[in-house]
Homo-oligomer: A and B are copies of this chain.
Amino acid sequence: MHDDDIANTMRALGHPVRLEILRILATQQQGQCCCADVTDSLTLAQSTVSQHIKVLLDAGLIERKPHGTRNRYCLRHDRLAELGSAFGGLLKGLAPVAANKETEQA
């Protein structure tokens, strides 16, 4: 994961509504998360929510599963974890010099 990718993902997370959407998806039972549910919890127009979902989708943070007439969305826990370690690595790389020696390109 390079700087650009991290920055990209960060930007996707850099909006409260998007964080909220992730939270909503997390609280649903696995697979129960359709767009209407999200729209319903979020005083925003359906098109706006769809837009935000698209951003999260493009960032690879969530997954779309077409399911008949309604789509299902769910978190991509693998990606989240990946981001977690990439971010951890970033923070480590920023840590005071003395600390990082063999963590150069994790």
Which residues of A line the B interface, CB within 8 A? 3-4, 6-8, 10-16, 18-20, 22-23, 25-27, 29-30, 75, 77, 80-81, 83-84, 87-88, 90-91, 93-97
Contact for A10 among B11, B27, B91, B97, CB less than 8 A = B11
Closest B residue to A12 using CB positions: B14
Q: List 6 A-B contacts (CB under 8 A).
A: A3-B19, A10-B11, A77-B95, A77-B96, A84-B87, A84-B91
Query: How many copies of the shown chain assemble into the complex?
Result: 2
**Across the interface, which residues of B come within 8 angstroms of A14, CB to CB?**
7-8, 10-14
Q: A95 CB to closest chain B CB, in angstroms?
A: 7
Does the CB pair A11–B15 fall under 8 Å?
yes
